[in-house]
Amino acid sequence: MLDRRPHPIRWLRERPTYADALLAVALTSIALTLHLADFENDDIDFVDPSWWTSLLVVGAVFPILWRRIYTVASTLIVVFVQVFAAFADVDGAGFLGVVVALYSLGAHSAGPIRSRVVALIAIAIAALFVTGLSVGELDIGSFISSTIILVTAFVLGDNLRRRRDAATALQERAERAERERELIAQREVNAERNRIARELHDVVAHSVSVMVIQAAAARRSLSTAPDNAEQALTNIEETGRQTMNELRGILGVLRRSADDTDAEATLAPQPALDQIDDLVARSDDLAIDLTVVGDVQHLPSSVTLTGYRVIQEALTNIRRHAGPVTSVAVTIERRADEVAISVTDDGRGAAADDSEPGFGLVGMNERVAAIGGTMHAGWRSGGGWRVAVSLPTDASAAPRSPTTAPSAAEVVA
């Protein structure tokens, strides 16, 4: 059985209150031990231990227990009790508690109140040191070393606080940038949906209106003027074909990038999964291993088009973001009620270029969800990136609500 006991340092780091209590008890025990031992000192004649001297010694270190919660108050108590004890020649842990209190003041407080407290403490300690120098209980070397130690403790605490604040600010900035990126992606998706909806509405509404009028004319002329009825039906057929071409052109323009000048490719028939060999052949810059299992020809057009576009976009993302790639595996498997598509590589995935995030995964997810399929994209075990898509072969499958753009942290086994 594994040992589930937490590491002591980690346990204390996760519970700072207990760590402060342990520190306060340890320092108090040391101070009382030194005080009650009553060591002899040739320079200072310390007061004999008693109940009130013991209270002073405890008051000079134990308030460290609240150094994170009541930082200013605990620091003032520790410093001024220690200064009073020093004036009263009460022996204890010396300025050990003051060093910890000043470090805590720098690490856990900020603002004008702290500045005034630091000035007040400096005046009190300076008065103590000057008095010690004047009566011969403190030499110049001890004065300099003690001053350096106290100042260094405060500066170290202040530097720690500044680094902690900077790390927090960077984390908040990263989270804000991530939220903004998601909002931009969602706005792009919504804008594209709105544009498609408007243009398809215009095209379909006009064409359907014409077809309804022609159908009504054909019905009225069917018995009396067959030639006119045949002409009306011919017009309906031509209008339907023209509408389909216009719809294809609208979708092609929306999907074409601004710098795409290949108009012939845009107006060409929509590709399908049975043409994936041509796509692999044109991708001679990648070492692609293509595997096709089952019949992929007799499938609904929406499935074959979506599958082809997903593979095409996945290969494009590999070129843009995967970095050095030695192998790419494309697998298409026809199953009983679905087509499973997988595109994997051994590159660095999305981590190779995080500076220019695009909307490729968002577009793929939208396209797959529109025909009731599912998609997962992310780092795969063993290194590299994987895009896995499942497309239903039933053309009447209900569209799914598109999920959020796949996270780069989602690992696909």
pLDDT at 204 over 80: no
Across 377-389, average pLDDT: 84
The predicted structure's pLDDT at residue 39: 55
CA distance 390 to 338: 6
Average pLDDT along the chain? 77
pTM of structure: 0.45
Question: Of the residues 222, 243, 263, which one is the last residue of a structural domain?
Answer: 263
Query: Would you call 184 helix, strand, or coil by DSSP?
Result: helix
In eight-state DSSP terms, residue 411 is: P
Kindly tell me the burial class for residue 345, based on how many C-beta atoms sit within 10 Å of its own C-beta (0-12, 13-18, 19 or more): buried
Task: Determine which of 92-96, 191-195, 393-397, 398-402 has the lowest per-residue pLDDT on average.
Answer: 398-402
Question: Of the residues 263, 298, 319, which one is the last residue of a structural domain?
Answer: 263
The predicted structure's pLDDT at residue 252: 58
Residue 412 placed within a domain:
no
Question: Of the residues 138, 170, 198, which one is the last residue of a structural domain?
Answer: 138
Residue 358 placed within a domain:
yes
pLDDT tens digits, one per residue of 66-106? 888 888 888 888 888 888 888 877 777 778 888 888 888 88
Residue 339 placed within a domain:
yes
End-to-end, the C-alpha distance of the chain in Å comes to: 27
Please report which confidence band the pLDDT of residue 202 belongs to, taking 50, 70 and 90 as the band edges: low
Residue 388 placed within a domain:
yes
Strands 385-392 and 338-345: antiparallel
Domain assignment of residue 319, given as a range: 271-392
pLDDT tens digits, one per residue of 251-270? 655 555 444 445 444 445 66
Co-location of 73 and 117 in the same domain: yes
The predicted structure's pLDDT at residue 405: 42
The predicted structure's pLDDT at residue 390: 92
Residue 163 placed within a domain:
no
